[in-house]
């Protein structure tokens, strides 16, 4: 059974750096074709794709947030870490990680973690 | 890239059928058969319902089906049930590593 779970601070201040960890089980990020993606959802709004890291170490970022995001993986711990610098109240929302296998679909998703950015 | 366009809301009575559209462009929905649909109940994580336009993951009822015509993909739900009331998001590959989400549609079961 594949599961993912996000963890990180629930509250950060504006201008601070956010660090989120996605801990997963049931698959390995060293397996060909496996990928982990981060997505966020502001309250009451649509989903937004943020970043992706692949089994071979390739990294991809949202063009609008590229300068603020860094994604990395620790295959020994089955973790993917996302950092976002210079946080702003508009970054408030629920942050999800999800697995992307050989196809383009996201399945499954973690439960999400709510991050509130205070000014 | 702009988000995919979905109606903000749709509704139907139990037992009826509804269809949710997802309109993109010839660079995303129209170009690739990599459209997927996600169901999200309040406070819950999204759940994959349809992938690769028409495929249904195991465990998803066959009341849910997907299709595509040109730049518009659609999710159809037949035999509506109260538990189907949720938000639905579409998602499409858009070249290289780019993916796009739709704005979401709230389904109300009357």
Contact B46 A104 (CB under 8 A): no
Centre a 10 Å sphere on the Cβ of residue A44 and count the other Cβ atoms it contains.
8
- Which residues does A contribute to its contact with B (CB < 8 Å)? 39, 46-49, 52, 60, 63, 96, 103-112
DSSP one-letter code for B48:
E
Comparing CB atoms, the residue among A39, A46, A108 nearest residue B3 is A46
Contact A49 B47 (CB under 8 A): no
- Is the confidence at residue B1, as pLDDT, over 80? no
pLDDT band for position B71 (cuts 50, 70, 90): very high
CA distance B39 to chain A (A): 12
> What percent of chain B stands above pLDDT 70?
98
Residue A46: its chain B contacts at CB < 8 A? Answer: 3, 89, 101-104
- Is the confidence at residue B98, as pLDDT, over 60? yes
Comparing CB atoms, the residue among B47, B89, B93 nearest residue A47 is B89
Residues B98, B83: contact at Cβ < 8 Å?
Answer: no
pLDDT band for position B97 (cuts 50, 70, 90): confident
pLDDT tens track for A56-104: 999 999 999 999 999 999 999 999 999 999 999 999 999 999 999 888 9
pLDDT tens track for B39-48: 999 989 999 9
Residues A32, A18: contact at Cβ < 8 Å?
Answer: no
- Dihedral angle computed from the Cα positions of residues B13, B108, A37 and A110, in that order, rounded to the nearest 10 degrees: -90
């Amino acid at each position: 059974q594949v599961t993912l779970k996000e963890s990180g601070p629930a509250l950060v201040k504006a201008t601070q750096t956010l660090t989120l960890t996605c801990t997963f089980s049931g698959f390995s990020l060293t397996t060909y074709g496996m990928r982990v993606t981060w997505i966020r959802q502001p309250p009451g709004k649509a989903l937004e794709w943020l970043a992706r890291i692949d089994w071979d170490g390739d990294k991809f970022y949202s063009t609008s947030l590229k300068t603020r995001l860094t994604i990395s993986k620790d295959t020994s711990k089955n973790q993917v870490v996302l950092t976002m610098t210079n946080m702003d109240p508009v970054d408030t929302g629920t942050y999800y990680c999800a697995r992307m296998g050989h196809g383009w679909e996201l399945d499954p998703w973690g439960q999400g973690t709510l991050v509130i950015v205070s000014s | 890239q702009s988000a995919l366009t979905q109606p903000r809301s749709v509704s139907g009575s139990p037992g009826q059928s509804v269809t949710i559209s997802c309109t993109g462009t010839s660079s995303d929905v129209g170009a690739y058969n990599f459209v997927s649909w996600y169901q999200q109940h309040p406070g819950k994580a999204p759940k994959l319902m349809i992938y690769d336009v028409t495929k249904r993951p195991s465990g998803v009822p066959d009341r849910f089906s997907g299709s595509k015509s040109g730049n518009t993909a659609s999710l159809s739900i037949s035999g509506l049930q109260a538990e189907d009331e949720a938000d639905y998001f579409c998602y499409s590959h858009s070249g290289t590593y780019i993916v796009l989400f739709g704005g979401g549609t709230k389904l109300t079961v009357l």
